Chain A
Amino acid sequence: MDAAERRDMLKNVQEADFVVVELTLYTNTHPNDQEALTQWRLAIKEAARLRKMYEKRFGPLSLHSIPSEQAIDTGWRWNQAPWPWQM
């Protein structure tokens, strides 16, 4: 089912992005914690990987990602439901 798959893949992005949020806050007050800085860097990398997987199927989550020509050809538009509060 497409909707269920979308939800699962989005959840992966949400989880990975949350790790980045959390480690960013931590490194703000622990700027010399080398292990945390390594984790932070890897977390950003992992979040980017999962985001790319999601966006390839369902289109960009933000306009920092490039929409594929195929997405636009097949009708994907930024101004398109569902918005997060509609899902």
Chain B
Amino acid sequence: MWVYEKKLLYPVEVKECNPKLARYIAEQYGGADGELAAALRYMNQRYTVPDKVIGVLNDIATEEFSHLEMLATMIYKLTKDATPEQLEEAGLGAHYVNHGHALFYENAAGVPFTTTYFQAKGDPIADLYEDIAAEEKARATYQWIIDISDDAWINDSLKFLRERENVHSLRFREAVEVLKEERDRKKIF
């Protein structure tokens, strides 16, 4: 089970309305390589991996949900005071007529979230390699958003998230090594 903590993992400071930036951040909210896909992917894979790597999947999945909340906070605050005209200028006219000022799990192009974005293969090595790739793709996406954004406060939070992708990638790589060691140990005895 999970217990809610009434705080963000890392502070999010929004100084001004910027619906266009919110739209770009949506790529990491409801996109193929985003935090929702990551969280659901790892949470689902944890049931069918060896005991030694369950914690890695469980705890990174949990952290991804806190990343999702940081992104939601950015999107909410960047759009909450935007007029319909401002939303339309930012390319969010179609979003507005369907969702108003509500958040929606979609990517930067407005494509709704889908679980076809990720796998659970029932093969721990295949799953972990997908997870490493997912972290690297998320890291790249954060970099592209940072490059296109001129909001220093948002970029500070995005840089934190980008660095977390690096750490998660490293932990997944180590998890692969843990499984290889176990496999080799079994061959010896």
Contacts and interface: CB of A to CB of B under 8 A. Distances in A.
Contact of B9 (A18, A25, A62, A83): A18
A62 B6 contact: yes
Nearest to B10: A14
Contacts, number: 60
Contacts of A17: 5, 7, 9
A70 to B, nearest CB: 19
Given A25-B167, A28-B171, A29-B175, A84 B73 contact: yes
Interface of B: 3-12, 55-56, 59-60, 63, 69, 72-73, 76-77, 167-168, 171, 174-175, 178
Contacts of B5: 17, 61-62
Count class of interface residues, chain A: 20 to 34
A82 B137 CA distance: 34
A39 B93 CA distance: 50
Contacts of B10: 14, 18
Contacts of B7: 10, 13-14, 17, 61, 84
B30 to A, nearest CB: 17
A21 interface: yes
A14 B8 contact: yes
Given A28-B171, A62-B3, 18 more contacts: A10-B7, A14-B8, A17-B7, A21-B9, A21-B59, A21-B63, A24-B59, A25-B171, A28-B55, A29-B174, A63-B3, A63-B4, A83-B6, A84-B6, A84-B7, A84-B69, A85-B12, A85-B76
A57 interface: no
27 contacts: A11-B11, A13-B7, A14-B8, A14-B9, A14-B10, A14-B11, A17-B5, A17-B9, A24-B59, A25-B63, A25-B171, A26-B171, A28-B56, A28-B59, A28-B171, A29-B56, A29-B171, A29-B178, A62-B5, A63-B3, A63-B4, A83-B6, A84-B8, A84-B73, A85-B8, A85-B76, A85-B77
